[in-house]
């Protein structure tokens, strides 16, 4: 089955700096890669996703890039703000009928 | 649209007790899933359903049962609660034609 890994488990950045969170996946058939943000005590919320036929996708301050050859995808947050502090999960799915496999999550702290 | 709803929000059980966590969605989504979230472990799939009358096991199904008699509801039953089942439980749903998965607010369960 699919295996998704996130490293490191924590990341601390200064407010205004950029943050990059990387995930790797094992199944070359995976074609859908979402990123979820989870604030303390809240549910995971989908913030951006990318499909395997696209190399990059942007939405305001966040972007996701996908490298299918290396089997990794990354979340980029520019001009970080304290409200970006949260746990971020990456995930991968092999197709519309496949299960979503999550990474263990990374805790991002933005220092004011 | 209420989206995905879960009840109760919090529950304390004694070892050996049974209970049912409720999940409902009003978006007519075919796919529904149950995850548990433990510190440092990410989101692990317990059971999922691709439609009414169809369920299957996920990564960590032992000690849990599910049924899907209607499109809207997907209850999770703990047969005989154990301290190892102390966790936060999230229900999620998505349309069959879509990749995007939406989470409910979660149930925090403590087994003593």
Instruction: Give B 29-88 residues with CB within 8 A of chain A.
Output: 33, 35, 40-45, 48, 50, 58
CA angle (B33 as vertex; B39, B111 as ends), nearest 5: 45
**Rounded to whole angstroms, how far apart are CA atoms B44 and A100?**
10
CA A104 to centroid of chain Cα atoms:
11
Structure tokens at B80: 């005989």
Yes or no, beta carbons of B50 and A97 under 8 Å apart = yes
Residue A67, pLDDT > 90, answer: yes
- Reported as a pLDDT band with limits 50, 70 and 90, residue A95 is low
Q: Could you tell me how many CB contacts below 8 A there are between chain A and chain B?
A: 46
The pLDDT value recorded for residue B99 is 83
Residue ranges of A 13-42 with Cβ closer than 8 A to chain B = 32, 34, 36, 42
Token pair listed for A37: 């943000």
Task: Give the rounded distance of the alpha carbon of B91 from its chain centre.
Answer: 4
Tokens encoding A54 = 């696209």
What number is the average pLDDT over the span A50-77? Answer: 95
Instruction: Give mean pLDDT in consecutive 10-residue pieces for chain B, a chain of 112 residues.
Output: 92 97 96 94 94 94 97 97 98 88 96 98
pLDDT at A97 over 80: no
Distance from CA of B87 to the nearest CA of A (A): 13
Does residue A13 surpass a pLDDT of 80?
Answer: yes
Residues B100, A30, A102: CA angle, nearest 5 degrees: 60
Looking at residue B40, its pLDDT comes to 84
* Chain A contact present for B9, CB below 8 A: no
Task: Identify the pLDDT of residue B97.
Answer: 78
State yes or no: pLDDT of A49 exceeds 80.
yes
Residue B111's CB: how many other CB atoms inside 10 A? 19
SS3 B84: helix
Instruction: Name the residue among B40, B45, B100 with its Cβ closest to that of A99.
Output: B45
Supply the pLDDT for residue B68.
97
CA distance A50 to B99: 10
């Amino acid at each position: 089955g699919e295996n998704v890994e996130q490293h490191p488990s924590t990341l601390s950045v200064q407010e205004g700096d950029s943050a990059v969170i990387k995930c790797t996946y094992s199944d070359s058939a995976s074609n859908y890669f979402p990123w979820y943000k989870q604030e303390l005590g809240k549910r995971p919320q989908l913030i951006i996703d990318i499909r395997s036929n696209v190399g990059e996708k942007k939405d305001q301050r966040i972007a996701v890039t996908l490298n299918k050859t290396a089997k990794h995808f990354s979340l980029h947050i520019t001009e970080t703000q304290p409200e970006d502090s949260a746990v971020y999960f990456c995930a991968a799915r092999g197709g519309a009928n496949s299960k979503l496999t999550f990474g263990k999550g990374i805790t991002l702290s933005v220092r004011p | 649209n209420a989206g995905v709803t879960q009840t109760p929000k919090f529950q304390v059980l004694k070892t050996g007790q049974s209970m049912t966590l409720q999940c409902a969605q009003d978006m007519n989504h075919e796919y529904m899933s149950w995850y548990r979230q433990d510190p440092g472990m990410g989101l692990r799939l317990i059971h999922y359903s691709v439609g009414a009358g169809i369920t299957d096991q996920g990564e960590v199904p032992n000690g849990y049962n599910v049924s899907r008699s209607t499109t809207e509801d997907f209850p999770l039953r703990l047969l005989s609660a154990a301290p190892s089942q102390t966790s936060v439980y999230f229900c999620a749903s998505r349309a069959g034609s879509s990749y995007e998965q939406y989470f409910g607010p979660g149930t925090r369960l403590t087994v003593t």
